[in-house]
Every structure is written in C-alpha cells, then in structure tokens.
Amino acid sequence: MLAFATESFTELESEARPLTAAHWREVEAPMHGNTNYGLEAERYRHLEALNMLHVSAARTPDGSLAGYAAFTLVPCPHRPKTLLAALDGLYLTPEARGGFTAL
C-alpha cells in the first residue's frame, strides 16, 4: 500500500532524480528520441518559490519514494482566487503499479 502526500520539491529532489530519469527512459525517450536527460531542478525550485508548483509524492510503507505527480499552477484568468493545474509529470515505479494505485 502506498501513502500519498504533498511534498516540497526542494526536500525530495535528490530522492526523485532516479525516478525522473527512469520516467524519461521508459516514457519520454521513445517519443522524443534518446537524448540526454537532465532534470531542470533550478526551474522547479523557482516555480516552487513562486507557489506555482505542486508535487504529490507516493511512498511505500518503509518511506521510500515510489512515484510522483507534479503540477504547475497558474491563476485562472476568469475565476479570481482559483488556480489551474497542468500535469507536468506522473510516474510510478513498476513495483508500485497494479490494482487501483494509479487511480
């Protein structure tokens, strides 16, 4: 069973790096070519400082990171005080997949 919680990118960055690289190899590289992958951590830190980033982390019972959903946030142009979220990345390790986890 996984536990889900909002976490700071800054705090989980080093733990997330292997997962973002695996995400790239499995999902993105086949679509975009096998180019070198590099997490643009500075950009994510900047978005987080502007309150424009939301990261939901999935953790195993022992506390290790098993996945993430990262969203960029922008103010809605026609609904004051409402944020719009765009999915930036969604990944679960192969071991964490199955059943209703992705739901």
Model confidence, pTM: 0.86
What's the whole-number average pLDDT of the chain? 90
- Indicate the class that CATH gives domain 3-96: alpha beta
Q: What is the pLDDT of residue 10?
A: 93
Q: b/e for 28-46, b at 16 or more Cβ within 10 A? A: eeeeeeeeeeebeeeebee
Asked whether residue 102 carries a pLDDT value surpassing 90, the answer given is no
Q: What is the pLDDT of residue 94?
A: 92
pLDDT for 39-87, tens place per residue?
Answer: 889 999 999 999 999 999 999 999 999 999 999 999 999 998 899 999 9
Average pLDDT over residues 6-23: 93
| Residue 48 CB contacts under 8 Å (≥ 6 apart), including other chains | 8, 9, 10
